[in-house]
Amino acid sequence: MIVMRAPDKTMTCAEFQDALPELFESQADLSGHEHLKSCENCAALVRDLQYIASQARLLLPIHDPSPAVWENIQQAIRQGGSSGPAAQAPRK
Amino acid sequence: MERFVLMNAGPTQPRPANQHLRRNPPIAGEQEAITKAQNGDGRAFETLYAMHKRRVYSLCLRMLGNVAEAEDLTQEAFLQLYRKIATFRGDSAFSTWLHRLAVNVVLMHLRRKGLPQVSLEETLEPSQDDGPRKDIGARDLTLSGSIDRVTLERAIENLPPGYRLVFVLHDVEGYEHNEIAEMLDCSIGNSKSQLHKARMKLRDLLKTGQRKEQIA
């Protein structure tokens, strides 16, 4: 029989933070975690990390390559560049 | 120590129902362009380039943090696409397939440049800077609601390469840990650990920036 202690009631900050990667991956709602009820520092940490992850998901592809990229691609294709394209058409 | 070793140079067929489909919505006219390009229609290939250049380039730029390299590898990715488009079977969304091809091009490039630059080992050793802060100190500045896109992009650029790869692949591009582990030839646990450390490092970078702004 496996005996488990109630982890959230006895967790130190170190233990909680060590468990964080798995807690995040479990998709569990951490807002009700017992440790966070009594530890503002860890609660702030969790909020920040969740915020960073949520903001990252909103990052859209916004950068365009220069026109030279397509010109080089065309040139490589014209030259029959079916092998070693990067070597055949180095960036100008 | 696990090392960063590329296993597959070509695009594999990702699982069809993975979450990065959220970033790969169907594009009007894409299927027709694919079919024509598979039959050697150069204009159709140009159409595909126009449809996907921004996304492929943005991926390369975020993974590499270098404009010149990102343009080189965007070029290489599309030339690989030109050579391989006939092998696209439609098992997954085209953009998902192309995206994986581009990721593999970047990883191959990084591997050619030398493992030390992209090794995950650099981030395996805990340090005071990067590891979780386990002290219970005074309340710290919180980030929520206070960072804009440009600030976040800049902070990602400043991540160490090993952190940046996992963070971009997981949090920005939506790959799952098992996919990242396969791509980077590391364990799923390692991928999770790297992601957590990357987020912690980003938090530090963003907070440092905020403190500087407050002082200024």
Instruction: Give residue-wise pLDDT tens across range A19-64.
Output: 998 888 887 788 888 899 889 999 999 999 999 999 999 888 888 9
3-state secondary structure A14-42: HHHHHHHHHHHHCCCCHHHCHHHHHCHHH
* ipTM confidence: 0.74
CA atoms of B123 and B119, how far apart (whole Å): 8
Tell me the C-alpha to C-alpha distance, in Å, between residue B81 and each of A76, A87, B59, B179: 13, 16, 16, 21
Averaged over B96-106, what is the pLDDT?
93
Classify the C-alpha dihedral B162-B15-A51-B188 as positive or negative. negative
Closest CA to B197 of B153, B131, B106: B131
The per-residue pLDDT for range B3-37, each reduced to its tens digit, is 433 334 344 444 444 444 455 667 889 999 999 99
Per-residue confidence (pLDDT) for residue B141, from 0 to 100: 58
Q: Which two tokens stand for residue B199?
A: 């987020």
CB atoms within 10 A of CB B147: 19
Query: How far is A4 from chain B, CA to nearest CA, in Å?
Result: 23
**Total-model pTM:** 0.76
pLDDT at B81 over 70: yes
pLDDT at B186 over 80: yes
* Interface mutation vs chain A, best among B134, B149, B193, most A CBs within 10 Å: B134
Per-residue confidence (pLDDT) for residue B207, from 0 to 100: 87
CA atoms within a 13 Å half-sphere pointing along the CA-CB vector of B43: 2
Per-residue pLDDT band for B79 (boundaries 50, 70, 90) equals very high
A27 touches chain B (CB under 8 A): no
CA atoms of A55 and B208, how far apart (whole Å): 18
Q: Which two tokens stand for residue B7?
A: 């296993």
